[in-house]
Structures are given as C-alpha cells and as structure tokens.
Amino acid sequence: MTLAFLLVLTGLQHVDGLVDVGNALGIRKASVEERIMIAHAWIVTRTGAFMAILVSLCTLLFIFLIKPEAIIQSLIIAEISAKLAMVTCAWQGFSSQKGLGSIFIASMKKRHSLYLFSLVISMLISVLLLSLKGVLAVTLGIVVGGVMIVSSKRIFGGVTGDIFGATNEIARMIALFALVW
C-alpha cells in the first residue's frame, strides 16, 4: 500500500517516464529522434514494461526488507534521495527538447545556491533520521542523478521529462537498497 500511495501521489508520472525511457532503450540501433518518437508514442514495449516491473518489484522488496522500526525514516529518506536526484539532473543537465523537463532545467541553471541549499537540507534531514546510513542513501541519489544525466545524453541527446521520472523511480529504489543493509 505504501508504494501504491507513493506512485498515485505523483499521478504515476514518474513510472510513465521510466516506461518511456525503457521503450527508447529497447530500440538499439535508433537515432535520438527515433528514440524521442518512441518515448512519446502511446505504446509500451517489452523493455519499457520490464524496466517498470523490475524497478517496482525491487522497490517493493526493499521496503519489505527494511527493519520495521526504521521504515518511516527510510521512506522519507528514499523520497528525499529521489527528489535530490531529479534536482541534480535539472541543475547539471541540459535539455534536448522543449517540454516540461526543459522548464525545470531552465529554472535551475546557474542556481548553485539553490542546489546547495537543497543538498544541505537533504543531508541534515538524513543525518537526523538515520545518521550515516541516511547520508549514504541521499548521496546515492546524487550519484543516480549524475548517471542519468550521462545516460540521457546517449538516449535522448539531453535530459527530458521522461528522464526525470525514471531518475525518481531508480533513485528511490537505490536509496531503499542502501537502507536495507
């Protein structure tokens, strides 16, 4: 129910981005333009479905494996990590096309103090909730954001709204994985 609540809270937008990125990855020898077209199409390929199912099942598994006394703190930190990953994409990424993603990117360009503020608040909350384990989970969110920036250049020629959604879902899963141990 917790995962369903988190997914519905965002209107399944982030999962849709994950599916779209998976759809684009399923086309191996395609141009950037073809990948963008397939990401915008109203279809789900087996690669898109596989990515969404894999990330969702892993996230669910990691929620089950977290110690019950730390579940609330872990979920909060996982969401902080996911959002910081998206902020990292907006701060350091560049847009490949006009759309919702480009609006976020434009609003974060040259806003180093805003990113620093986000980082400090995220780290402070993570330290207060789960000490170094929380810091590790949030740090992994930054790493996921960086990896997604690099990946997005290869897939779409830059960061898109779909990359933001995929980043959120993958960063949440990775943070929960770190919090299991």
- Return contacts of 44-48, CB within 8 angstroms, 24+ apart: 44/19, 47/22, 47/23, 48/18, 48/19, 48/20, 48/21, 48/22, 48/23
User: 141 is written with which tokens?
Assistant: 């969110």
Number of structural domains in the chain: 1
Query: How crowded is the C-beta side of 80, counted as CA atoms within 13 Å?
Result: 25
Query: What does pTM read for this prediction?
Result: 0.87
The β-bridge partners of 159 are 95
Are 115 and 108 a contacting pair, CB within 8 Å?
yes
Q: What angle do CA 40, 46, 47 make, to 5 degrees?
A: 70
DSSP state string for 42-87: S---HHHHHHHHHHHHHHHHHHHHS-GGGHHHHHHHHHHHHHHHHH
Q: What is the pLDDT of residue 101?
A: 65
In whole angstroms, give the CA distance from residue 173 to residue 88. 17
pLDDT tens for the chain, 181 residues long, are 776 776 676 656 777 788 888 888 887 777 777 777 777 777 788 888 899 999 999 999 999 999 999 999 999 999 999 999 999 998 988 887 777 666 777 777 777 888 899 999 999 999 999 999 999 999 999 999 999 999 999 888 889 888 889 999 999 999 999 999 7
User: 39 is written with which tokens?
Assistant: 């990401």
Show the domain range for 170: 2-180
